[in-house]
Amino acid sequence: MVAEDRNLQILRTFVFTMGIRALLSQPLARYIVQRQKNWIARSIEVQEKWRKDLVKKASNTQFGKDHFFKDIRNYNDFKEAVPVHDYEDLKHYIARVKQGEKDILWPGQPLYFAKTSGTTSGTKYIPISSESISNHIDSARNAILTYIDETGKAAFLDKKLIFLSGSPILTDTGGVLTGRLSGISNHHVPGYLRANQMPSYDTNCIEDWETKLDRIIDETLDQPMSLISGIPPWVQMYFDRIIERTGKKVKDVFPDFSLFIYGGVNFEPYKAKLFESIGKRIDSLELYPASEGFLAYQDSQQDEGLLLLLDTGIFYEFIPVEHFFDENPERLSISDVELGCNYAVIINNNAGLWGYSLGDTVKFVSINPYKILVTGRIKHFISAFGEHVIGEEIEKALRYAMERHPEVEVVEFTVAPMVNSEAGGLPYHEWLVEFATLPVNPEQFAADIDRRLTELNIYYKDLIEGNILRQLQLTSLRKNAFIDYMRANGKLGGQNKVPRLSNDRKIADELTKMNRL
């Protein structure tokens, strides 16, 4: 009896020390990871099953009838029946769904519309169904559980967790609840985490980003924050405000802070400044969520790449980037992809998106399991002179230079062509960079970027060596230049991002103009 009492006391002490959420998360994490291993082992089979199931379920929808879904027998039939679409191509179907019609793209009506802004289509209304919502919610949960299973670290679940996101206020569109994806997701935070979640609901509803940020700081400064999640530039803004207010590094304000979760942009350009603001290295976890679907997450702290989620209601297709704009580009299923190639991502999902081009480009770094790196946007490139420089290349070139100039800290940057300079001479690429810490030798810093870019892109190299282009020019922008740009365009905070590069000077010229003010 004495031994039993002692064992009971040890168990109670363990639970008290570890925390009930952390304790219960570990067997759940093991279960999720085992399920993950099961579908990974059957990746090609699982994808084919989803293709068949999606087509079968949607065969009586308006889209299914228009595209003869009942006659589809195999993947080749599917490719012939379903063309590649962007939002504009599906807009007339979505307009009918917005008017309250049922069985248009997917059986019944959507559970939600995720409202997002597009560059050519204006506001987009992306359907989320009762079937597809689990893709968004469970995938985010599973990313964290996979991290817990690998590292054994779970104590952060019993402290405070912050998700810098959009407002959870939802409106009605034809009988469908409508809002930002991050706001929709806020309504599905598990009850056992709600007591830990920050900021408060009222604060999260504030639309103005800077007002909201100040309120978030008010609420979190005296809390044991352990997990912080958000797009890196807006998390950096949160950190900057904390340091301004307290005069302390983030680690001294939040000593329990141990996990940073991010997505939406490449972390590398922000990493040095973020960790400098924190004051120590902590674990980070990358996610690949989009309004159209949650595609991938980092499943290991050791390996490169994000695990592509092949068993969550999405049938994937891939188009080699160099052929994307062909009249009839080749479309590949997961069984045909190759390592190291850049692909445009096409999805078909259980919310009624068919042959839908996400606009993102990815590269496979593993095919057992299938893991990807997000390399850029299909429409974000510079090819004013035939060089076709993509986002992955400029980010790698910048990282190369920053490694050789360790004093440099970058807040944000974008790149654009300069075809006709006021000063005359050969055209060039202009890099507009907001530095937190300037390079000691800016000329050498620019030269290092340029040298690495010529190694990564043979067309750029040929243009430089052929005296068609001259070396890139570096323009240092004033403090808060990008914040002011985003504010002026009504895109400050939330999930908004500045394009890394453009094939015109619209963004560059506006930034240059604001830089003079």
| pLDDT tens, residue by residue, 290-305 | 999 999 999 999 988 9
Distance between CA atoms of residues 263 and 513, nearest Å: 30
Question: Does residue 438 contact residue 273 with C-beta atoms inside 8 Å?
Answer: no
Question: Does residue 370 contact residue 364 with C-beta atoms inside 8 Å?
Answer: yes
In this prediction, residue 118 carries a pLDDT of: 55
The residue with greater pLDDT, 511 or 92, is: 92
Confidence of residue 48 (pLDDT cuts 50, 70, 90): very high
In this prediction, residue 16 carries a pLDDT of: 38
In this prediction, residue 4 carries a pLDDT of: 47
For 185, the token pair is 């997701």
Confidence of residue 517 (pLDDT cuts 50, 70, 90): low
Distance between CA atoms of residues 47 and 312, nearest Å: 10
Does 51 have pLDDT greater than 90? yes
Confidence of residue 96 (pLDDT cuts 50, 70, 90): very high
Q: Which of 134-148, 169-183, 254-268, 350-364 has the lowest mean pLDDT?
A: 254-268
CA 510 to chain centre: 25
Mean pLDDT of the chain, nearest integer: 88
Distance between CA atoms of residues 69 and 59, nearest Å: 5
Stretch 126-133: mean pLDDT, rounded?
96
For 434, the token pair is 């907001």
Give the model confidence (pLDDT) of 423-449 as tens digits. 778 889 999 999 999 999 999 999 999
Look at the pTM and tell me if it is higher than 0.85: no
In this prediction, residue 301 carries a pLDDT of: 94
Give the model confidence (pLDDT) of 227-259 as tens digits. 999 888 788 889 999 999 999 999 999 999 999
The residue with greater pLDDT, 420 or 8, is: 420
Q: What phi-psi label fits residue 385: left (phi over 0), alpha (psi between -120 and 50 degrees) or beta?
A: alpha
Distance between CA atoms of residues 193 and 184, nearest Å: 16
In this prediction, residue 379 carries a pLDDT of: 76
Closest CA to 447 of 431, 466, 468, 426: 431
Q: How many CB atoms lie within 10 A of CB 244?
A: 9
Distance between CA atoms of residues 438 and 510, nearest Å: 22
Closest CA to 145 of 232, 312, 24, 250: 24
Please state, for a pLDDT cut of 90, what percent of the chain lies above it. Answer: 60
Does 93 have pLDDT greater than 70? yes
Distance between CA atoms of residues 369 and 367, nearest Å: 5
Q: How many CB atoms lie within 10 A of CB 129?
A: 21
Distance between CA atoms of residues 376 and 345, nearest Å: 11
Stretch 41-56: mean pLDDT, rounded?
97
Closest CA to 189 of 175, 204, 210, 171: 204
In this prediction, residue 11 carries a pLDDT of: 37
Q: What contacts 65, CB < 8 A, 6 or more positions away?
A: 59
Please state, for a pLDDT cut of 70, what percent of the chain lies above it. Answer: 94
Give the model confidence (pLDDT) of 474-499 as tens digits. 999 998 888 888 888 777 766 667 78
Stretch 149-178: mean pLDDT, rounded?
90
Handedness of CA 46, 52, 55, 59 (dihedral sign): negative
- The H-assigned helical ranges of 353-432 are 391-404
Confidence of residue 132 (pLDDT cuts 50, 70, 90): very high
Stretch 129-140: mean pLDDT, rounded?
95
Q: Which amino acid is at 239?
A: F
Q: How many CB atoms lie within 10 A of CB 24?
A: 15
Give the model confidence (pLDDT) of 320-344 as tens digits. 988 888 888 999 999 999 998 999 9
Does 317 have pLDDT greater than 60? yes
Confidence of residue 1 (pLDDT cuts 50, 70, 90): very low
In this prediction, residue 188 carries a pLDDT of: 87
Number of H helices, E strands in the chain: 19, 20
